[in-house]
Structure 1
Amino acid sequence: MTAVDDTPRTERQADGPVLEATGVTMRFGGLTAVNNVGMTVRQGEILGLIGPNGAGKTTFFNCLTGLYKPTEGRVRLLGNDLPPKPRAVVMAGMARTFQNIRLFGNMTALENVMVGRYCRTSSMALTSILRGPKFRREERETRARAQELLDFVGLGKSTEHLARNMPYGDQRRLEIARALATDPKLLLLDEPTAGMNPRETQQASDLIFRIRDSGLAVVVIEHDMRFIFNLCDRVLCLVNGEVLVEGTPNEVQSDPRVIEAYIGSAADDEEGDE
């Protein structure tokens, strides 16, 4: 993770898609939250997912990561169909963080990251109970990898701090370290800078660039438009559960449909006045 891939970005992206989602639709009774959404993420790319509140961004994330079984559509990671089961998705190489921080508050920073690592261990129940040689070896390797990831995200000095006592921005980075512990090929970040001050936001941006440069593909949901447009290679905008526009940051931020989706149209203002 700490080694940086020096291959030019254009060459990394040419290696092919990491994620291909086609026709993803999610209905809850008579409500269609996500409607025929497609998305392709290439290796070594940062893709932004934006849209006003209620646009279906997190629901789409949940469909990708197995928390929801899509009503229709297909999700493929590295060319393989993903079953709608969170553990299977993680094992296949996709990890995520959440809008609301979901750390184990009474565990240390190191222990939280170690939890993420256990999906890559193979010790069975009996070996773990008896603490056999294989268990002890994997435990040492897990602890060393967790410390390496804490160093990578800038929390190397917080190893023994309880997660609940850590500053908010550090908790966000700890969640990312735990996700990285699963050895993903694709990392999904759901509003990673929510509630952060400008300094913490800049740290988050720098960290995401380092993750990208290590060879991972990253998808980011975010409401901070300055953050997203400075960060991403491409941006996809959802409105009412459908793709409104997809393109480069410059193309998306200058599209009048995107502006209207966020601030409304002149016709909306006139209706409000009436």
Structure 2
Amino acid sequence: MNELHTDQSVLPPRLRFNEVSVRFGGLTALDAVSLEVPAGTVVGIIGPNGAGKTTLFNVVCGFSTPAAGSLELDGEAFRPKRHRLVRHGVSRTLQGLGLFPGLTVLENVMLGLEGTARHNALQDALLLPRSRHGEAQLRDRGLRALDDLGIANRATALPDTLPYGVRKKVALARALAGAPRLLLLDEPAGGLAHEDIEELAEIIRRIPQTGCSVVLVEHHVDLVMSVCERIAVLDFGKLIAEGTPAEIGANPAVTDAYLGVEPA
């Protein structure tokens, strides 16, 4: 990953939720949530099932429309459209892998770059040099993303032939290939062995060095505590706590309800 050194303190938040509410019929999935994700940081979102974590991601990705409130991306009003996320510099991994078994690892990663290149249908059909050059650029970027995660040697393999931990890396490489400014990680440690989770933690810690902010939804609380600079806690759609890992770990209500620790 290419490092980018910038004084993040002078920048507006990479992502800001302003009193965002989402309702599904009579159910309030998010209730006036205000939250900031600083530039170049990792922010964790924790809470029980049904707390609103996935809805929070869906708002950013344009899959859920707020009934009230607004979003800002780098200080500007952000009205996300799901088909233009990559152009906005927003990328997301899924709870499931979302890989296409009939495509190679590299081809799966290149799909994450589809929104970053301009295609000319006539050029593509005629295989003109400009079209071939564009495809070569996408392949190079895809290979770099795989190399950053140490799996470039798997580029020609089919996903189903690989161990689960490697397939997780492929899904992450696809999300990173477009050099996003905001990366949403939806339970990336799910199904991973302990040593794979430790490696994932090291990867997540490196991502902000490129200038990309990370929002992490994860049930592995140890991972969240070890990689996040700030943590937000949701419960029944409400933001009930926010702070550093130390502050969240010392919050009696949070430790009792979510971390399985008796408050002192």
Which TM bucket (shorter chain)? over 0.9
Paired residue total: 262
Q: Which residue of 2 aligns with 1:3?
A: 2
- Calculate the TM-score normalised by the size of structure 1: 0.91
Q: How does 1:1-274 map to 2 (within 5 A)?
A: 2-6=1-5, 11-262=7-258
Give the Cα separation in 2 of the matches to 1:264 and 1:193.
Answer: 19
- Calculate the TM-score normalised by the size of structure 2: 0.94
Deviations 1:68-113 (A, max 9, x none): 1122221121223222421223311111111111111111110011
Could you say if the C-alpha distance between residues 200 and 265 of structure 1 is closer, same or farther in structure 2, counting changes exceeding 3 Å? closer
In structure 2, give the amino acid aligned to 1:163. P
Q: What fraction of aligned residue pairs are identical, expressed as a percent?
A: 38
Give the Cα separation in 2 of the matches to 1:55 and 1:259.
Answer: 16
Give the Cα separation in 1 of the matches to 2:67 and 2:169.
Answer: 33
Could you say if the C-alpha distance between residues 160 and 263 of structure 1 is closer, same or farther in structure 2, counting changes exceeding 3 Å? closer
Alpha-carbon distance, 1:265 to partner: 11
Give the Cα separation in 1 of the matches to 2:138 and 2:25.
Answer: 43
CA contact (8 A) 1:97 1:190 kept: yes
Alpha-carbon distance, 1:263 to partner: 7.1
> Which is worse superposed, 60-69 or 85-94?
85-94
Q: Which runs of at least 4 in structure 1 moved beyond 6 Å after TM superposition?
A: 263-266
RMSD: 1.7
What are structure 2's unaligned runs of at least 5 residues? none
SS at match of 2:113: helix
Could you say if the C-alpha distance between residues 264 and 173 of structure 1 is closer, same or farther in structure 2, counting changes exceeding 3 Å? closer
Alpha-carbon distance, 1:115 to partner: 1.0
Give the Cα separation in 1 of the matches to 2:83 and 2:178.
Answer: 11
Could you say if the C-alpha distance between residues 263 and 137 of structure 1 is closer, same or farther in structure 2, counting changes exceeding 3 Å? closer
What are structure 1's unaligned runs of at least 5 residues? 267-274
SS at match of 1:107: coil
Could you say if the C-alpha distance between residues 150 and 265 of structure 1 is closer, same or farther in structure 2, counting changes exceeding 3 Å? closer
Deviations 1:229-265 (A, max 9, x none): 0111000000111101000000001101112323799
CA contact (8 A) 2:3 2:210 kept: yes
Give the Cα separation in 2 of the matches to 1:14 and 1:229.
Answer: 26
CA contact (8 A) 1:83 1:89 kept: no
